[in-house]
Amino acid sequence: MRFQTPLVPARLIRRYKRFLADVVLESDGREVTAHCPNPGAMLGLADPGMRVWLEPNDDPKKKLKFGWRLVELDDGHWAGIDTGVPNRVVREALEGRLIVGLGDYAKVRPEVSYGANSRVDFLLETPGGQDTYVEVKNVHLRRDSDLAEFPDCVTKRGAKHLDELSDMVARGHRAVMLYLVQRTDCRALSFARDIDPAYGAAFDAAKAAGVEAIVYDTAITTEGVTLRDPLPLLA
């Protein structure tokens, strides 16, 4: 997945109201407000002074002319903060048959209605066979060593998706939760059960019901984000 326009560097002043961030552009020192496409806590990724990368736009319908996409970490690694990116990355990977265990299907359908007023991220259809329901979760929390964690805040919606995937398994379908780690400094994924115990319990129940879990990391540059390697899940 390539960014539509070249990213520009800035320094973060503050993130507030969840979806807004004030920054100083490195190019000319202007202070601007950027859209922050992330409703989560963004622990460790929204500290004042961090170097961030923004995607400019000239869309007259958009009030904010910059969208926050990346954080350049102190150790040379990268983190992606846009929660809309994972679905774009995964769609490209599914269409390219790049995800281990998810390559035997005839059609990829995004945003298909299912469950209780929900839309599954991807439905992989196999004529005359077993359909596969795939939910995608963005991961960018890292607190200890090289371990990625999910979630970074309480997510009732995430637990609901696990319940709905379990229901699909009960109906005879295959269901997969795919965690995409938008960081380049992690080598495994675990659950932040101290942050959201209910999500951890929901995952345990879903796993027992037959829901599968797949974890991948990403390659991140200022040009784009792409699928990289499978990671172990330390549940």
Partners of 58 in the β-ladder? none
Q: Are residues 70 and 164 in the same domain?
A: no
State the pLDDT at residue 104.
82
Q: Are residues 100 and 45 in the same domain?
A: no
Is residue 207 one of the residues assigned to a domain? yes
> Which of the four pLDDT bands, split at 50, 70 and 90, describes residue 75?
confident
Asked if 101 and 210 sit in the same domain, the reply is yes
Last residue of a domain, one of 22, 51, 80: 80
What single letter denotes the amino acid at residue 41? Answer: A
CA distances (Å), origin 34, targets 11, 26, 55, 145, 201? 11, 14, 9, 31, 36
What does the pLDDT read at residue 74?
83
Domain co-membership, 92 together with 74: no
Q: How far apart are CA 182 and CA 178, in angstroms?
A: 13
Residues 16-65: pLDDT tens digits?
A: 999 999 999 999 999 999 999 999 999 999 999 999 999 999 888 889 99
Question: Which of 80, 102, 124 is the endpoint of a domain?
Answer: 80
- What pLDDT is stored for residue 127 in this prediction? 82
Report the pLDDT averaged over residues 211-221. Answer: 98
Q: Are residues 30 and 141 in the same domain?
A: no
Share of the chain above pLDDT 70, in %: 100
pLDDT higher than threshold 80 for residue 81: yes
Domain tally for the chain?
2
Q: Do 106 and 180 lie in a common domain?
A: yes
| pLDDT for 37 | 97
Angle, helices 156-170/197-209, rounded to nearest 10 degrees = 10
pLDDT tens by residue, 198-209: 999 999 999 999
My answer on whether 56 and 102 are in the same domain is no
Residue 165 lies in a domain: yes
Amino acid at 17: K
Same domain assignment for residues 198 and 157: yes
Is residue 78 pLDDT above 90, yes or no?
A: yes
Nearest-angstrom CA–CA distance, 34 and 67: 5
Task: Name residues whose C-beta falls within 8 Å of residue 144's C-beta, 6 or more positions apart in sequence.
Answer: none
Could you tell me if 75 and 40 lie in one domain?
yes
The Cα 133–Cα 167 span in angstroms is: 11
Is 62 inside a domain boundary?
A: yes
Q: Are 111 and 121 in contact (CB under 8 A)?
A: yes
Q: Residues 63, 89: one domain?
A: no
**How does pLDDT run across 120-147, given as a tens digit for each residue?**
999 999 887 789 999 999 999 999 889 9
3-state secondary structure of 97: coil
- Mean pLDDT, the chain, whole residue set: 96
Confidence grade of residue 95 (pLDDT, cut at 50, 70, 90): very high
**pLDDT value at residue 235:** 78
pTM above 0.85, yes or no: yes
The domain that contains 45 carries what CATH number? Answer: 2.40.50.580
Structural domain boundaries, residue 97: 85-234
- Number of helices followed by number of strands (H, E) in the chain: 3, 16
Residues 225 and 137 in one domain: yes
Q: How confident is the model at residue 183 (pLDDT cuts 50, 70, 90)?
A: very high
Tell me if 3 is assigned to some domain.
no
pLDDT band at 166 (very low <50, low <70, confident <90, very high): very high
